[in-house]
Structure 1
């Protein structure tokens, strides 16, 4: 339970860091840390439920593009989270670049964190 809460807080920090690094993704003015944590929670739920379904449905185009279509799916997931939370994304291009930054930052966090947090 503690690992899940810690992973949620780290995900919220990474999402906040994306908003600081790229102006195409931001939180609504006056958003609190609770809004950021809720956005991270929604991102986790969307990535756990909807993303695998979309990846399965887009498997033929993903094979044809050698996996590059996964970047489009990631952008759609960020765009969906923005529609459900206090996160603002400046169109699909903003979601695309924001998703790339989010993916790279999450990859770096996974390199640094010990295995115990991943369970």
Structure 2
């Protein structure tokens, strides 16, 4: 159940990002198409993050320390661009129009919205073990 909640939180974060950031767009025609596209892109984004983020953090740990973690913003933006490219390979209507400011601001907004929603929505891991 937790994975479904995280998928929905990511989809909502992506949706809010498409509304706020001009360079990130969702081009599906119908509401159902938009929801399907958001869910598919959320799955792609989740897989990209789950597979690549640990590898990048391990290889680039020196840069994370040197920049006090600010390199994470660049890494998140690049992962968002990779998600855009993969979504394009599947003809999904999700588009990121470049690294700066679209991908950087989009990655920041997705991170903040996801963090807020994860704090507000219980996913089953928050239970006390009494």
TM > 0.5: yes
Residues 1-119 of structure 1 aligned to structure 2 (within 5 Å): 2-30=1-29, 31-85=33-87, 86=92, 87-93=94-100, 94-116=102-124
- Where does the alignment leave 5 or more consecutive residues of structure 1 unmatched? none
Q: Would you tell me which structure has more helix in proportion to its own residues? A: 1
Instruction: Find the aligned partners of 1:115 and 1:32 in 2 and give their Cα distance.
Output: 24
Instruction: Find the aligned partners of 2:2 and 2:123 in 1 and give their Cα distance.
Output: 11
Secondary structure of the structure 2 residue equivalent to 1:116: coil
With normalisation by structure 1, the TM-score equals: 0.88
**Number of residue pairs matched by the alignment:** 118
Contact 1:71 1:100 in 2 (8 A): yes
- Where does the alignment leave 5 or more consecutive residues of structure 2 unmatched? none
Larger Rg: 2
Instruction: Find the aligned partners of 1:117 and 1:13 in 2 and give their Cα distance.
Output: 20
Instruction: Find the aligned partners of 2:97 and 2:47 in 1 and give their Cα distance.
Output: 22
Tell me the C-alpha RMSD between the 2 structures.
1.9
Instruction: Find the aligned partners of 2:22 and 2:106 in 1 and give their Cα distance.
Output: 9
Instruction: Find the aligned partners of 1:63 and 1:32 in 2 and give their Cα distance.
Output: 39
Contact 1:7 1:117 in 2 (8 A): no
